[in-house]
């Protein structure tokens, strides 16, 4: 997107940004199809650069110690597939951040948080194990994004521990930064044991 076409920036490097996806088997905890916006909507913010917080709440079924890492990664990567005229996900390389741009013409046509949330939910619903989804956006203030990061931090640390175990196949609990999290999360213990067993089998197979 050329600078002359830029109408709005969300979560740029100079602004606070948060992006996270949390999942649960408790479908009653999800208000399926709901998009919540805290702060100004996109059309009324033309010419601005706003902080940006996004939390996706996914109600799922069938997540186990063996598949949770891959399924979480699949759901999270779907955000890169959003294809809306006038919208661009510029960067999401930094952990728990997202930098987006919206074009001037799109804002004039009424492109809103609801449009963005609906597109994301449509992609998420292509996964058969996704049974309900809710999206929360925050554009109100940097302080609110920081507070949202603190609220989601405990769940994100569990996800971080899950990712570390699965991607590094590292089960040395004595040196792992996430040991306190794993010690308090029975689901992570089951996942750790399952992945440890899988890594042993693969080592034997590849020997």
- Split at pLDDT 50, 70, 90, the class of 187 is low
CA 31, CA 19: separation in Å to the nearest integer? Answer: 19
Q: Is residue 207 part of a domain?
A: no
Average pLDDT over residues 48-65: 92
Can you give the residue range of the structural domain that contains 112? 3-202
CATH code: domain of residue 58: 3.30.1650.10
Span 188-205, pLDDT tens digits: 455 456 555 655 544 443
CA 88, CA 102: separation in Å to the nearest integer? Answer: 6
Q: Is residue 43 part of a domain?
A: yes
Instruction: Using the Cα atoms of residue 16, residue 115, residue 153 and residue 65 in order, give the sign of their dihedral.
Output: negative
CA 146, CA 148: separation in Å to the nearest integer? Answer: 5
Give pLDDT, residue 81: 95
For the chain, give the mean pLDDT.
83
Cβ-contact 67, 31 below 8 angstroms: no
Q: How many domains does the chain have?
A: 1
């Amino acid at each position: 997107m050329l600078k002359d076409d830029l109408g709005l920036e969300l979560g740029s490097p100079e602004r606070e940004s948060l992006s996270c996806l949390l999942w649960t088997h408790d479908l009653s905890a999800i208000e399926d199809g709901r998009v919540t916006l805290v702060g100004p909507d996109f059309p009324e913010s033309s010419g601005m650069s706003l902080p940006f917080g996004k939390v996706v709440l996914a109600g799922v079924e069938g997540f186990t110690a063996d598949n949770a890492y891959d399924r979480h990664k699949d759901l999270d990567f779907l955000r890169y597939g959003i294809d809306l005229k006038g919208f661009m996900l510029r960067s999401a390389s930094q952990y728990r951040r997202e930098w987006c741009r919206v074009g001037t013409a799109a804002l004039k046509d009424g492109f809103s948080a609801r449009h963005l949330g609906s597109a994301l939910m449509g992609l998420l619903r292509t996964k058969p194990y996704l049974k309900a989804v809710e999206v929360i956006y925050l554009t109100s203030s940097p302080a609110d994004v920081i507070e949202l990061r603190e609220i989601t931090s405990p769940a994100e640390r569990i996800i971080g521990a899950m990712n570390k175990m699965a991607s590094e196949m590292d089960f040395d609990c004595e040196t792992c930064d996430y040991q306190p999290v794993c010690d308090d999360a029975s689901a992570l213990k089951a996942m750790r044991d399952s992945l440890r067993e899988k890594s042993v089998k693969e080592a034997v197979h590849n020997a």
